[in-house]
Amino acid sequence: MEKNPFSFYDFLGYLFPGMLSVLIIIHILFLKSSCGIIDYFSISTFVETLNNEFKTDSWKYLILIILLSYILGHILAYISSATVEYFSNRLFKYPAFYLLHKEDISFNQYLKRYFCNVGGLGVFLWRIIVVIILFPISFVFLLLGQPLYINKFITRELDDYVRNSILDKQFNLSEKLNIKRPAVNAEIDYHRIVMHYVYLNIPSSQKKSDNYIALYGFLRSICLVFCIYTDCVIYKAASELDFNLLIDGKVVWIIIFMVFICNISFMGFVKFYRRFTLENYMALLTEKKQNSDYGKK
C-alpha cells in the first residue's frame, strides 16, 4: 500500500505550531532587556529583530527554521497531549462519555473530579503543574466554567433518541466482533473500538475524521503555545509592578486579550475533539447494510 510520507496532520499538527513557537522564541530571545510588554506584540519590533539578527533572504535560514519547526512541533504535540488534552479529559471526561451520558454536577464536584480523584501523589502533583502551565484556561474553566455554564455547554449530551440508538449499535457491534457487551453506564473506552471499526469498514468517513484529528491536534498545540506565552507576559507584568501595585492599562488589556485567545483556542480544540468522536458514532449509526454485514461471511 502506498502511503504519503507527509499528511495533513504533519502541517497543521506539527509544522505550523512549531513554526509559530520558533518565531516567538526568536522574538523573545533578541528583545532588549529594557523592552516593555508592548514590544512582545509589536510586529515592527519583530521584523526589526529578523532584519538585524538574520539574513532573511538566505535559504539556509529558511530550511533551518522549517526543520526546527517540524521537530519542535512533535515535541509540542506530545506536551499538549499531556497537558491540554489531559486537562480536558480530567475535567470533562472523554467526549465519548459525555455525549452518551447525561451529567449535572456542581462546582464542587468539578473541583473534586480534577483534584481529588487521583491515583497517587505523583498524579496529584502533575495535575497541579498542568493547572499552572495552563493558568489562562485552568483559571477560567475551574473557577468560572460552571457558574457561567461554559462547562455545561461543552459537555452537552446528545438527545435521548440518538443516544439510545448509538448505544444499541454499540451492543450490536460487540456481537458482530464477538466481544463482551459493555454495561450501559460503564466508564470504559469503548469508543476506541468504534473508532477502529469505522475507520476500517466505512471509508467514506475517513477523510472527515482525518480532518478533525488534524484540526484538534493543531488547536491543542496552539493552545499550549498561547498559554505559555501568556504566562510569560503575566510574569513580566508582575515583575514590573512597583510598590503601589500600579500597572499600565494597555498591559491589562493585552493580558485579557491573550487569556481570551487561549480560551477560544481551547474551546476550538474541545469542539473538534467532540466532533471527531461524534463523527465515529454517527458513521457507525448510519452505516450501509453492505458494511453492517462485514465479518459475517
Model pLDDT for residues 191-219, shown as the tens digit of each residue: 889 999 999 888 888 888 888 999 999 99
43 three-class SS: helix
Q: Which residue has the cell 506536551?
A: 79
Q: Which residues lie closer than 8 Å to 170 by C-beta, 6 or more apart? A: 182, 190, 194, 284
What is the pTM assigned to this prediction? Answer: 0.85
Q: Helix (H, G, I), strand (E, B), or coil: what is residue 288?
A: coil
Query: Which set of grid coordinates corresponds to residue 215?
Result: 484540526
The number of angstroms, rounded, from the C-alpha of 156 to the middle of its chain's C-alpha atoms is 18
Q: What pLDDT is stored for residue 1 in this prediction?
A: 37
Q: Mapping DSSP to helix (H, G, I), strand (E, B) and coil, where does residue 202 land?
A: coil
Alpha-carbon distance 114 to 128, whole Å? 10
Q: Give the orientation angle of helix 160-177 with respect to helix 249-285, to 10 degrees.
A: 60
DSSP secondary structure string for all residues of 72-97: HHHHHHHHHIIIIIHHHHHHH--HHH
pLDDT digits (tens, 9 = 90+) for 6-40: 566 777 778 888 888 888 887 777 776 667 777 77
Q: What kind and span of H or E run contains 134? A: none
- What gap in Å lies between CA 177 and CA 205, rounded to an integer? 20
